[in-house]
Amino acid sequence: MASHSSSPECEKACRKIHASWNQLNHLGLALALRTAADRRRIKETYKAMYGEDLVERLRRNHISNPKNEMCNILYMWMLEPAERDAIVARDAFECSVVNHRALIEIYTRRKTNHLFFTKQAYSALCKRNLDQDIIGEQNSPSQRILVALAASHRSHHDDVSQHIAKCDAKRLYDAGKRRMGMVDEPVILEMFSKRSIPQLSLAFSSYKHIYGHDYTNTLKKDCCGEFEDTLRMVVKCIYNPAKYYSKMVDTSMKGPETDNRALTRVVLGSIEVGMEEVKTMYEKGYGKKLKDAICELLPEDDYRDFLVALTNGPISIP
């Protein structure tokens, strides 16, 4: 029996899903164009109508078909953002070499109050503390920056100050002038540990306003080293996430073999930072529409069709 709060359209979507378990393309089309609120309503209505947890059914499908990326992306798509982050973080630590990029994407994309739920979900999934897992990792430039970002999220709210941003912009400039070819790492780590993500973004914006170019341009032109390379990536995530994700989507599709797991992660991340902005940046950077690139670079299958549908944006259930 359906919930009293469910709409006829929502119930119709649930019936379509229930009839499509053996046809992933139909299942994908039933779910791809739904907003986050719609997906929650569908999960509630499906449970009421069929007595089964929709996400658990998708999880079992994924476990039974671990190499089928369509099963994985359907499962990830229907999770809450915090639950999705927890799985991405768990998988990042389980790689032969820890995937710091995936962890940095989480810490730079989430506001402090949202990251709180990510950490709760990670604890429930892994029985461990996310920040402590990062602190316990082998020392490296990426690990040190992640430790600083974690400290920032524990200590600060998302309020911003233009005055602090201007001061930080000058500190960034000075930090690049201390040693030829390298930034002053302690200064950067201290700043990252004491500023919220919105405050850091404002600092990078102030840097461009004061000095006439992006901070990443300074890092690329004047600085070299593993810390500087990682810092440049982090700055891109914070200051221009649409450009960062457009590049990562392109990178994941190209090469000898498409990295479907990374592609799934960055496409879902693109939706969270704003798919329309990511599509605009992709077309500006690569001279073609994102959906056209997906069709050109990926083999024709259910996974490709689902990605194209995701780029078209959600259609809400009435």
pLDDT at residue 165 is higher than 80? yes
Domain 80-155 superfamily per CATH? Annexin (1.10.220.10)
Give the mean model confidence (pLDDT) for residues 228-246. 96
**CATH 1.10.220.10 segments of the chain:** 8-78, 80-155, 158-239, 242-311
Residue 137 one-letter amino acid: E
Amino acid 35 reads: T
Give residue 294's pLDDT: 97
Q: Which helix (H) or strand (E) holds 21?
A: none
pLDDT, tens digit (0-9, with 9 covering 90-100), for 102-159: 999 999 998 888 999 999 999 999 999 999 999 999 999 999 999 999 998 876 666 8
Tens of pLDDT, residue by residue over 184-235, are 999 999 999 999 999 999 999 999 999 999 999 988 876 678 899 999 999 9
What integer pLDDT is reported at residue 180 of this predicted model? 63
Helix (H) or strand (E) segment spanning residue 26: helix 24-32
pLDDT of residue 225: 86
79 forms beta bridges with none
Q: Which region holds residue 157: left if phi is over 0, alpha if psi is between -120 and 50, else beta?
A: beta
Question: With respect to CATH, is domain 8-78 assigned 1.10.220.10?
Answer: yes
In this prediction, residues 167-180 reach a mean pLDDT of 85
**pLDDT on residue 270:** 96
Q: Name the pLDDT band for 315 (thresholds 50, 70, 90).
A: low
Type and span of the H or E element at 224 = none
Residue 255 has pLDDT above 80, yes or no: no
Does 1.10.220.10 match the CATH number of domain 158-239? yes
Long-range pairs for 255-258: beta carbons < 8 A, 24 or more residues apart: 258/297, 258/298
Structure confidence by residue, pLDDT tens digits, 26-75: 999 899 999 999 999 999 999 999 999 999 999 999 999 999 999 999 99
| H-helix segments, 110-239 | 112-126, 130-135, 141-155, 162-175, 185-194, 197-211, 215-222, 226-239
- Give the amino acid at 63: I
Q: What is the pLDDT of residue 4?
A: 47
More confidently predicted of 315 and 299: 299
Is the pLDDT higher at 200 or at 4?
Answer: 200
Distant-in-sequence, close-in-space partners of 268: CB < 8 Å, separation ≥ 6: 73, 76, 77, 84, 310
Count of H-run helices and E-run strands, the chain: 19, 0
Higher pLDDT, 61 or 181: 61
How far CA 111 is from CA of 31, 76, 102, 105, 303, in Å, comes to 26, 20, 16, 12, 30
Mean per-residue pLDDT for 237-260?
Answer: 93
CATH architecture of 242-311: Orthogonal Bundle (1.10)
Res 297 pLDDT > 50? yes
CA atoms of 130 and 184, how far apart (whole Å)? 27
